[in-house]
Chain A
Amino acid sequence: MNETIFGAENMSVSLGGTTIVDRASFALRKGECVALVGPNGAGKTTLLRAIAGVETAQGNVKLGEMNFADVAPGERAKKIAYLPQGHVFHWPMPVSSVVALGRLPHADFFTRLSKQDEGAVAKAIAATGIEQLAQRNVTMLSGGEQARVALARVLATQASIILADEPTVSLDPKHQLIVMSLLRQAARDGAAVLAVVHDLTLASRYCDRVLVMDKGRLVADATPEEALSPERLSTIFGVDAVMVDTGEGRVPIVRHPL
């Protein structure tokens, strides 16, 4: 079993008095790509936001050996990189500057890039295959290109945990595959990846483990085939599904609502 980087026991998150994440217990391990799936409103985004430090969590939560609540925001930012849902670029900045924002947690007050920072930015740009776009204005790119830039920004941090909230949403099939394989590659390179994925086929193809969330509770934590069994998909998602062998492993295909 790989080293646990992030461990949660009974992790809960409340927003305005309502419990959104209810006593979730799970671990994120080095080198593992984990999918977080569940119906809309299950609390997936809130869970991710809490790990990213955007929301406050209760419970026994550890980042490495440290108590998560005691980790300073600057230190947390070096270790946990977060790609929010529907990533936005508010200013027409060049792609290379956007990717360099991933180095912000490592930078000094004047945000001057060190040699090491520049190396990390170049590596992230190369990994996502956006060298050609480096000097382009990010707001003028297509959705697929923007998704890769957003991912490059997250990779540039060289964090040990990468969180991605629906990174494939509104992308064409090819870019969905590219983004998922980039996330898996990040895991192979040593990061712990946790991605909210709505496409169950993509989740089971690219991830080593699947966490299933429903009504704020974590209801499954297993291999894709076990976590996304037709029985579970019918009880949790209310859909009829079958497992289909694609020649590259068995994946669930959802057929119709129940």
Chain B
Amino acid sequence: MTSNRRDIGLIAALAALLIALALISLVVGQAGLTTGEALRALFDGQGPAGLIVREIRLPRTVLALTIGATMGLSGAALQGLLRNPLAEPALFGAPQSAAAATSLVIAFGLAPVTSFIAPVAGIVGALVSVGGLVLIAGRRASLTITLLAGLALASFAGAMTALILNLAPNPFIALEVAFWLLGSLEDRSIDHLAIALPFFVVSWIALALGARAYRALSLGEDAAVSLGIDISRTRLLVVAGTAVGVGAAVAVAGSIGFVGLVAPHLVRRFVNSDPARVLLPAALTGAVLLTAADILVRIVPAAIELKIGVVTALIGVPFFLAMIFSERRVLEGSPI
């Protein structure tokens, strides 16, 4: 609207930051390549350095970037639909449910992890959970009902995952699933990227199509309908878009949460809280956050590499608590 120029500035700044982080992500690693060697290997693809950068670091970087963007965008879209800054796929059990469904596939060897079955299972799991949430919370859902329903769904998904680990045919598989659940981008190949990327793109399109509706919804559902918005279609787009994106992300990288909560919050003030204008900056911020977190887990000295899902939760949960604290007046529904 009136602030187009400012939006473009914000988007350009985030894109520049993202490119810088992506390059760092290609350079950082245990192989001991220098920056120059790594960048040269990226372009010529020669020798072992080419293999490392192109086959190992590049897929990892692109996955971090696209998963982060998907999380940031789905958080912003869910927040737009529910008109609530605390909405985030992980609070509604979407990644947990996707994880439960994917662990089932892995633990019982129903399909190899790099087949299309894994993301499809993840998507079905996420769809059940996000769909269930929107169904339970329904129209005019209060924040309390939405969050409680999300808590119930997340807990149920956790219980299902525990059940699957419990019944896993052998302890090694159970351990493998448990580690995978922590969320990581380590050793992901171009195959992982290839199976997830189409789903991400579908999810981005679905979530972005609701932009007009999120803006109208800032006046409430009745006003939005009277402005010509099809609420059922919008709800379907967000449920499907979130489930497809989060489901595919969980299937290739395990459970990575809270990016969807943090990313839109960081940029909202720069777009005057407009729920449509926040979408692209939130997606870019999500990509920035996850790429940065993935660099962090590689440079923190530890005998075992930290799992990125652990890092995002460690940062995300205190952030969530801080948000609850700062918004508690609004949350308590007290007059201003």
A residues near B, CB below 8 A? Answer: 49, 52-54, 73-78, 80-84, 87-94, 96-98, 100-101, 104-105, 107, 109, 111-113, 139-140, 153, 163
Quick check: B228 and A73 within 8 Å, CB to CB?
yes
Q: Which residues of A contact B2 (CB under 8 A)?
A: 96-97, 113
A53, A101, A109, most chain B CB atoms within 10 A: A101
B4, B227, B275, B276, most chain A CB atoms within 10 A: B227
Give Cα distance in the complex from A107 to B273, angstroms.
20
Quick check: A87 and B223 within 8 Å, CB to CB?
yes
Of B1, B83, B273, which is within 8 A of A112 by CB? B1
Residue B217 lies at the interface, judged by CB distance under 8 Å to chain A: yes
CB-based nearest B residue for A109: B212
Chain B contact-residue range equals 20 to 34
CB-based nearest B residue for A73: B228
Q: How far is the CB of A88 from chain B (nearest CB, A)?
A: 5
Give Cα distance in the complex from A113 to B1, angstroms.
6
Quick check: A104 and B215 within 8 Å, CB to CB?
yes
Given the interface pairs A54-B226, A81-B226, the reply to whether A93 lies near B272 with Cβ below 8 Å is yes
Q: Which residues of B contact A104 (CB under 8 A)?
A: 212, 215-216, 227-229
Q: Which residues of A contact B216 (CB under 8 A)?
A: 101, 104
CB-based nearest A residue for B273: A91
Residues of B202-251 whose CB lies within 8 A of A? 211-212, 215-220, 222-223, 225-230
Given the interface pairs A91-B273, A111-B211, the reply to whether A153 lies near B219 with Cβ below 8 Å is yes
Of B218, B225, B229, which is within 8 A of A91 by CB? B218
Quick check: A92 and B223 within 8 Å, CB to CB?
no
Given the interface pairs A77-B226, A77-B228, A139-B336, the reply to whether A111 lies near B220 with Cβ below 8 Å is no
The 10 closest A-B pairs by CB, nearest first: A77-B228, A82-B226, A90-B83, A91-B273, A52-B226, A84-B222, A74-B228, A73-B228, A88-B220, A91-B218
A52, A88, A90, A113, most chain B CB atoms within 10 A: A90
Q: How far is the CB of B269 from chain A (nearest CB, A)?
A: 9
Quick check: A140 and B272 within 8 Å, CB to CB?
no
Residue B274 lies at the interface, judged by CB distance under 8 Å to chain A: yes
Quick check: B220 and A90 within 8 Å, CB to CB?
yes
Quick check: B226 and A111 within 8 Å, CB to CB?
no
Give Cα distance in the complex from A73 to B226, angstroms.
8
Q: How far is the CB of A96 from chain B (nearest CB, A)?
A: 7
Give Cα distance in the complex from A18 to B248, angstroms.
44
